[in-house]
C-alpha cells in the first residue's frame, strides 16, 4: 500500500477501503506521511467526496489514533453534548447542569474559542479559581459525586484530528461533510459517553449556512454515532444571529447564570431547555424528548439547575458566589457604545461579524497560543426584528485595551442592518434528527 495509489484512487472518484483509510490516518499521525501527500488526499476527498461507509472508517481510525476515555466506572447512561460552533453559545453552561440535576451524568470535554467562535473552556476559566485541567481519576470521581464535570480537551483524544484539522484549515478543505463528520465524531466517540446530543448550527455564523446542508451533516453524524453504538440525536438550530445578548467569556457566564435563575433571554432559554430535554431523553430518564424537556423546565423553575451549576463550579475549584455576585467575575475597564443611525427594525445581526468584533475586543484568539481578555466582549441591546429609533443603543463593547474595544465596536457596527419593515424571523430550532429511533 502506498500514498500515491490512495491519492490516485480518490482523485479518480474511487472508494477507499478500510485498510487504505487506516494506513493514511496512522501514517499521517505518526509522521511517516508528509503534509504534501496528506493535503493532496484531503483535496481529493473534498472534491470527490466520501461515501458514508468511507466516512465511518475514517472516523473509526481517527477515534483510535489517541486515548479512549473509559467512563464505565460512572453508573448510568453518560450523555455528552456538542455544538458545531457558534457566537454567544453558552448552552453547555445551562443545559448540562439542568440535565445533571435531573440525574444525567455529564462527563464533558470542551474546547477553547478560536477565530470568531467562542469556547466553553474560556468561559469557565473566567470564574475565579475554576480549573479546567484535571487528572482522569478526579474527573471520573467528580462525575460520580456531583453528576457533571467539564474539562479541556487533551491532545491525546483523537490525535489524528489535531493534525488533520490544522492541515484542513490551511488547505481550504474544512467545509466537507465527511471531513467535518469524522473530525467531530472521532472526538465524541473517543470521549466515552453512551449518548451524544449534537447542536448543528446553520446560518451566516455556521460552517453550513443552508438549513439543508446543516440537516445533512446532522443526519450523517446521527447515523454514524448510531452505527458506532451510541445513542445520537441532533438538533439543527439557527446561527444567523448570536444566541442571547452576551458574547464574551465572563459576560456569557453572567447570562448563563441569569438563564438558570429564570431571567435569561428567550432564545437562549428555549434552546437550552430543548438540549437539556434531549440529554435527559437520550440518558433514558424520560420516555420522550417532550417529557425530557418538561423535566428540564421543572429543574429550571425549582432552581435545581442553578444549584447544580454552583455545585459544579465549587467542585472544580471555582468561587460559586460569582454565579450570584457578578462583581466577582472579571470586569472590563473600557466600554464603548454604538447607536442606531435611523428608525426602523433590526433586519439582522450577523453572527460571524459579531464573533469577529468580539475577537477584536480581546475576547477571542487568532492563534491557538494567544491569550484572551476574559472580561472583553459585547452586550447586544437589539436583536433581529426589534423596533429601533435613531440614536437608540444597539450594543456595548467591553475590554481592557481601548484600541481593541474601538476596533471591535467598528466591526460590530457593520453587523447590524436596519430595515423599514419588520423582517421574517426563522425558528430557532429547525429540526431534531434521531430522536425517533431511540
Which residues are designated catalytic? 82, 161, 168, 183, 187
**Residues 78 to 97: which contact ligand URA by CB under 6 A?**
84-85
Nearer to ligand URA, 97 or 152 (CB): 152
Nearer to ligand URA, 68 or 437 (CB): 68
**367: Cα within 13 Å, side-chain hemisphere:** 2
In the bound state with ligand URA, the residue whose beta carbon lies nearer, of 80 and 311, is 80
CB of 33 to ligand URA, least distance (A): 20
Closest by CA to 181, choosing from 52, 336, 335, 18, is: 52
Count of residues interacting with ligand URA (CB under 6 A): 9
Is 110 among the residues that bind ligand URA (CB under 6 A)? no
Binding segment toward ligand URA, per CB under 6 A, in 125-133, 137-145, 175-183, 348-356: 175-183
CA 199: distance to chain centroid? 7
**431 grid coordinates:** 429540526
310 binds ligand URA (CB under 6 A): no
Query: Do residues 301 and 368 lie in contact, with contact meaning Cβ atoms separated by under 8 Å?
Result: no
Using CB under 6 A, which of the segments 63-71, 176-184, 196-204, 348-356 binds ligand URA? 176-184
Residue 150 near ligand URA by CB under 6 A: no
Q: Is 322 in the site for ligand URA (CB under 6 A)?
A: no
Cβ-proximal residue to ligand URA, closest one: 183
Which residue carries 475549584 as its cell? 317
Contact range with ligand URA by CB under 6 A, out of 26-34, 173-181, 311-319, 415-423: 173-181
φ, ψ of residue 114 in degrees (nearest 5): -145, 135
- Burial tier of 294 (Cβ tally within 10 Å: 0-12, 13-18, 19+): middle
Can you tell me the distance from the alpha carbon of 292 to that of 195, in angstroms, rounded to the nearest whole number?
Answer: 14
Residue 196 binding ligand URA, by CB under 6 A: no
* CA distances (Å), origin 124, targets 63, 144, 303: 26, 20, 20
Least separation in angstroms between residue 378's CB and ligand URA is 23
Please report how close the Cβ of residue 403 comes to ligand URA at its closest, in angstroms: 31
Q: Is 180 in the site for ligand URA (CB under 6 A)?
A: yes
Bridge pairing between strands 377-380 and 246-247: antiparallel
Binding part of the chain for ligand URA, among 39-47, 98-106, 136-144, 180-188 by CB under 6 A, reads 180-188
Q: Output the smallest distance, CB 257 to ligand URA, in A.
A: 27
HSE-CB of 342 using CA atoms within 13 angstroms = 10
Neighbours of 368 (CB within 10 A): 9
Q: How far apart are CA 169 and CA 155, in angstroms?
A: 17
| 217 part of the interface to ligand URA, by CB under 6 A | no
CA 30 to the chain's CA centroid: 28
Q: Whole-number minimum distance, CB 221 to ligand URA, in Å? A: 11
Type and span of the H or E element at 433: strand 429-433
Chosen residue from 183, 237, 316, 359 binding ligand URA by CB under 6 A: 183
Residue numbers at the binding site for ligand URA (CB under 6 A): 84-85, 165, 174, 179-180, 183-184, 207
Amino acid at each position: 500500500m502506498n500514498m500515491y495509489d490512495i491519492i490516485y484512487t480518490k482523485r479518480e472518484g474511487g472508494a477507499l477501503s478500510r485498510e487504505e483509510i487506516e494506513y493514511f490516518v496512522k501514517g499521517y499521525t505518526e509522521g511517516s506521511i508528509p503534509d504534501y501527500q496528506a493535503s493532496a488526499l484531503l483535496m481529493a476527498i473534498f472534491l470527490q467526496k466520501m461515501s458514508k461507509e468511507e466516512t465511518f472508517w475514517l472516523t473509526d481510525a481517527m477515534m483510535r489514533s489517541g486515548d479512549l476515555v473509559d467512563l464505565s466506572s460512572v453508573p448510568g447512561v453518560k450523555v455528552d453534548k456538542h455544538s458545531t460552533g457558534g457566537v454567544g453559545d453558552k448552552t453547555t453552561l445551562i443545559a448540562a447542569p439542568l440535565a445533571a440535576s435531573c440525574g444525567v451524568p455529564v462527563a464533558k470535554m470542551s474546547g477553547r474559542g478560536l477565530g470568531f467562535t467562542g469556547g466553553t473552556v474560556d468561559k469557565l476559566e473566567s470564574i475565579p479559581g475554576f480549573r479546567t485541567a484535571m487528572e482522569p481519576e478526579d474527573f471520573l470521581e467528580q462525575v460520580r459525586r456531583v453528576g457533571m464535570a467539564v474539562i479541556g480537551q487533551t491532545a491525546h483524544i483523537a490525535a489524528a484530528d489535531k493534525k488533520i484539522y490544522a492541515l484542513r484549515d490551511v488547505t481550504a478543505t474544512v467545509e466537507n461533510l465527511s471531513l467535518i463528520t469524522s473530525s467531530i465524531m472521532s472526538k465524541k466517540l473517543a470521549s466515552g459517553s453512551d449518548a451524544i446530543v449534537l447542536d448543528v448550527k446553520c446560518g451566516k455564523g455556521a460552517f453550513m449556512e443552508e438549513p439543508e446542508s446543516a440537516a445533512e451533516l446532522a443526519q450523517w453524524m446521527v447515523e454514524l454515532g448510531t452505527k458506532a453504538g451510541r445513542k445520537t440525536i441532533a438538533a439543527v438550530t439557527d446561527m444567523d444571529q448570536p444566541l442571547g445578548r452576551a458574547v464574551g467569556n465572563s459576560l456569557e457566564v453572567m447570562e448563563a447564570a441569569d438563564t438558570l435563575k429564570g431571567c435569561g433571554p428567550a432564545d437562549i432559554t428555549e434552546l437550552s431547555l430543548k438540549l437539556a430535554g434531549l440529554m435527559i431523553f437520550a440518558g433514558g430518564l424520560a420516555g420522550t424528548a417532550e417529557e425530557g424537556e418538561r423535566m428540564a423546565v421543572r429543574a429550571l423553575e425549582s432552581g435545581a439547575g442553578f444549584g447544580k451549576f454552583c455545585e459544579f463550579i465549587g467542585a472544580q475549584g471555582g468561587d460559586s458566589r460569582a454565579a450570584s455576585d457578578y462583581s466577582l467575575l472579571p470586569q472590563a475597564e473600557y466600554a464603548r457604545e454604538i447607536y442606531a443611525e435611523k428608525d426602523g427594525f433590526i433586519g439582522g445581526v450577523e453572527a460571524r461579524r459579531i464573533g469577529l468584533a468580539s475577537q477584536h475586543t480581546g475576547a477571542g484568539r487568532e492563534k491557538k497560543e494567544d491569550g484572551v481578555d476574559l472580561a472583553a466582549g459585547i452586550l447586544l441591546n437589539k436583536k433581529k426584528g426589534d423596533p429601533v429609533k435613531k440614536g437608540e443603543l444597539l450594543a456595548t463593547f467591553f475590554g481592557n485595551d481601548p484600541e481593541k474595544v474601538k476596533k471591535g465596536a467598528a466591526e460590530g457596527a457593520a453587523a447590524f442592518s436596519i430595515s423599514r419593515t419588520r423582517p421574517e424571523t426563522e425558528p430557532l430550532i429547525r429540526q431534531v434528527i434521531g430522536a425517533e429511533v431511540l
